[in-house]
Amino acid sequence: MKLLSVAKATFLAAVLSAAAYAPAAMAFEANNTECIAPAGAGGGWDFTCRQVGKALQDLDLIPGTMQVTNLAGGGGGVAFAEVVNKRNGEDNLIVAASSATSTRLAQGAYPGNDMSQVRWLASVGADYGIIAVAKDSDINTLPELLDMIKADPTSVSVAGGSAVGGWDHLKVLIAAKTSGIDDVRSVKYVAFDGGGEAVTQLLAGSVQAFTGDASEAKGFVDSGDIKVIAVLAPERLEGDFASYPTAREQGVDVIGANWRGFYGPGDMSDEAYDFWVEQIGAVYDSAEWKDTMAANGLAPLDLRGADFEAFVAESVSSISTLSKEIGLIE
């Protein structure tokens, strides 16, 4: 009887021990985390990876540091293809995304062209567009720039960090159409792999204007190298961008809000998916991220998991309609 009791006790202890350790064994534990920025250094995707990665580290939401990999090309298409075709099952990988991502998906520009090939994690804010010129430019307002394009479209080249037909391009075309330029295809747009490279070309005198987002232009605004002639927001931004006029103030009724967030590989495990949704959400909720948003002109946009996926789907649908309206796709 005593041996039986000991055996039962030993068995019970083993069962309890296994039960206690089972959740830990099944839970996802991040390690060697990586964020892909689908453009060169200095752009909006690079900003998103580096700033959120830093916040994840500073808030102890991931172990160690997060590696940022710049993988430029195709308006984000190179990175999308890399994840879908080569890294589809990686749990420690997230990818910066934005309205530029949904724009290229809407226009059929990505391999496979299906947003369901990846898992949409969460947003971290909305980045309003800007139009800027070099600090020594004779152009001081958005109507002046648009009048120059009306008078001689060949005299003005506008640089942006998205591909032709991408979100940076679309913002300029919408402004042009709103101001009475019927043939928006006459607007000369020069695509670069990231906003940083586009601004560099502006400063070199290769182009006359820049279209991008507030966050990616922040460093150049602070240094005084560029002159913001319009912010594509419904009203003036707070913080460092408060002194810059909106397009609406200047009689050009256009708003260009670029959401920022992340997707993960399509075969990412549910445990990893839940982990990243929660951790990115924790960054968004933090006081540190609120300070980052204010300092870089980011507006609130808090969407997580299924809500974010539904939002991206709606974004793809609406941009597809817009692209057809202005003749970019059939």
202 and 286 fall within a common domain: no
Look at residues 250, 284, 306 and tell me which one is the last residue of a structural domain: 250
So what's the pLDDT on residue 42? 86
63 and 85 fall within a common domain: yes
244 and 144 fall within a common domain: yes
133 and 224 fall within a common domain: yes
Would you tell me how many other CB atoms lie within 10 Å of the CB of residue 151?
9
230 and 148 fall within a common domain: yes
So what's the pLDDT on residue 10? 42
147 and 226 fall within a common domain: yes
The CATH code of the domain that includes 184 is 3.40.190.10
Domains: count for the chain: 2
Task: Please report, for the chain, how many H helices and E strands are present, in that order.
Answer: 11, 10
So what's the pLDDT on residue 12? 41
157 and 217 fall within a common domain: yes
- Domain assignment present for 21: no
So what's the pLDDT on residue 216? 82
Look at residues 250, 282, 301 and tell me which one is the last residue of a structural domain: 250
So what's the pLDDT on residue 86? 97
pLDDT per residue of the chain (330 residues) written in tens, 0 to 9: 444 444 444 444 443 343 343 333 348 999 999 999 999 998 899 999 999 999 999 999 999 999 999 999 988 999 999 999 999 999 999 999 999 999 999 999 998 889 999 999 999 999 899 999 999 999 999 999 999 999 999 999 999 998 888 889 999 999 999 999 988 889 999 999 888 899 999 999 999 999 998 888 888 999 999 999 999 999 998 888 889 999 999 999 998 989 999 999 999 999 999 999 999 999 999 999 999 998 888 889 999 999 999 999 999 998 998 888 888 888
- Domain assignment present for 221: yes
- Domain assignment present for 9: no
So what's the pLDDT on residue 7? 44
So what's the pLDDT on residue 297? 84
- Whole-prediction pTM: 0.78
- Domain assignment present for 22: no
The CATH code of the domain that includes 280 is 3.40.190.150
Look at residues 215, 250, 285 and tell me which one is the last residue of a structural domain: 250
β-partners of residue 227 are: 133
So what's the pLDDT on residue 303? 96
Can you tell me the distance from the alpha carbon of 5 to that of 8, in angstroms, rounded to the nearest whole number? 5
> What backbone phi and psi angles, to 5 degrees, belong to 48?
-60, -50
So what's the pLDDT on residue 207? 97
117 and 133 fall within a common domain: no
Which range of residues forms the domain containing residue 134? 128-250
Residue of 52, 48, 45, 89 lying closest to 71 (CA atoms): 45
